[in-house]
Amino acid sequence: MTVTTGASGTPARPTVRGEVVPAAFDDVARTYDLMVRLSPGYHEQLRASAAALVEALPETAGRRPVVFDLGCGSGASTAALVHALRAGGRDADVVGVDGSAGMLIQARRKRWPAGVTFRQADAETLGRDDLAEADGVFAAYLLRNVAARDRLLAQVHDVLRPGGVLVVHDYSVRDSLLARLSWHAVCWGVVIPLGLVTAPRSPIYRYLWRSVLDFDGVQRLADRMVKAGFVDVESRSASGWQRGQVHTWRARR
């Protein structure tokens, strides 16, 4: 976190630099689950994207497939994966990975079935030792927070086994004026005021507002995936009130 100074020389409200995003999430870890519970459709959207991964998960010839949940946070996306695997009749080892120690504390406190584990690693500096070979990778609300997106996508491509699937779930409003206007209204009418109640000293929800506006458009992110070596790249928008704001991208090695 850094403090900026206004024109008058007085400290402005703190902002979040990309390289310290994990620490900023540490600050809101204890109240983060409350915030997402107050977001209509949040868990349903995650489950829909997780189902898109499971339906494309390759067969693994008798062994348990391995799925990484990158940017797992407090475990909402991990729970979506567990739900989708169960609904799809698939059994898999799920590894949640996040850079925030505070978020991982919250995730590990929850009850998980056998085969679900968590580890700490920062997506900005993710190395080969942080990931093993995988059959699927789920990245929900992660790439937007990573400056080195091309590097991360290339690493994910390299750890996926042939035929393995990547699903990215995130906001993207750059391509639509209506989506941008709706995003402004949602953030300043709901998200930021609630953030002031649940975590009054944290700038993370104002960072969320700005990071979504700055993130890739839908086609731009698809192009990055192709550049990283992925094939069969496709995308779709979420249904419901956040149509045009929340999207799912799916691709295969």
Write the secondary structure of 139-174 as one string of H (helix), E (strand) and C (coil).
EECCHHHCCCHHHHHHHHHHHEEEEEEEEEEEECCC
57, 81 Cβ separation under 8 angstroms: no
**Distance from the Cα of residue 165 to its chain's centroid:** 16
Full set of structural domains in the chain with CATH: 18-252 (3.40.50.150)
Cα dihedral sign, 140-198-2-188? positive
DSSP 58-84: PP-TTSPPEEEEET-TTTHHHHHHHHH
Dump pLDDT digits (tens) for 45-94. 999 999 999 999 999 988 999 999 999 999 999 999 999 999 999 999 99
- Assign 21 to helix, strand or coil: helix
| Kind of pairing between the strands at 231-237 and 246-252 | antiparallel
**What pLDDT score was predicted for residue 123?**
87
Look-up of token digits 């507002």:
209
Is the separation of the CB atoms in 141 and 238 below 8 Å?
no
Residue 130 has pLDDT above 80, yes or no: no
Pick the closest to residue 245 from 198, 202, 191 (CA basis). 191
- Among residues 97, 134, 242, the alpha carbon closest in space to that of 179 is found at 242
pTM, whole model, 2 decimals? 0.89
Pairing of strands 160-171, 134-140: parallel
Of 108-112, 123-127, 166-170, 226-230, least confident by mean pLDDT is 123-127
What is the model's pLDDT at position 173?
97
Mean pLDDT over 100-123 rounds to 94
Among 13-17, 42-46, 68-72, the least confident range: 13-17
On the question of pLDDT at 9 being above 80, the answer is no
Contact 163, 134 (CB under 8 A): no
What is the Cα–Cα distance from 73 to 25, expressed in whole angstroms? 8
How many CA atoms lie less than 13 Å away from 89 in the CB half-sphere?
1
Token pair 């249904």 in the structure block, residue: 239
Q: What are the backbone dihedrals phi and psi of residue 213, each rounded to the nearest 5 degrees, phi first?
A: -60, -35
